[in-house]
Structure 1
């Protein structure tokens, strides 16, 4: 981060970045764990393996979506900073 003062809009976007990024990482990791558990259930012949694995896959996809949203928020902060720097340079 640079040493400039953050606007309230940047702070809100950065908060969303951290919340969505952290949540996405948690969902992705949990989904991988559940998916591997479903794989073990299939190996032992348990009937519930399909639904457990499907739930794990859904968690993985949700996590990736959250991480994508976090990336969007961070990009918006970078764009705001670039526009602010251009405006200051023009004056």
Structure 2
């Protein structure tokens, strides 16, 4: 059974992972849109592409944080299991 602390870490894992995936996908779409604007010689292509890169990097950061939360939850579970085995008569 998961502890309350572990449940919070898993919830953060899902929120940050899902948010990061959404930002990453949105950033790729915006970046491709900026590429099409450049082909059409539209004026704001540089800023649109820069915004796309910013979204991609933000998404990767969120996914990295999600990985950290999942690792912390797994370590917490492992430490709890060790304590149970150690304290078992």
Given the two structures, how large is their TM-score scaled by the length of structure 1?
Answer: 0.94
* Unmatched 5+ stretches in structure 1: none
- 1:33 maps onto 2:47 in alignment: no
RMSD, matched Cα: 0.5
Give the TM-score normalised by structure 2: 0.96
TM-superposed CA distance for 1:89, in Å, is 1.3
Q: Deviations over 1:9-58 (max 9, x none)?
A: 01111110000000000000000000000000000000100000000000
Residue 15, structure 1, aligned to residue 11, structure 2: yes
Aligned to 1:47: 43
Q: Does residue 65 of the first structure (1) align with residue 49 of the second (2)? A: no
Question: Which sections of structure 2, spanning at least 5 residues, go unmatched?
Answer: none
Distance in 1 of aligned mates of 2:86 and 2:70: 25
Alpha-carbon shift at residue 67 of structure 1 (Å): 0.2
Partner of 1:85: 81
Aligned residues: 87
Structure 1 outlier segments of 4+, above 2 Å: none
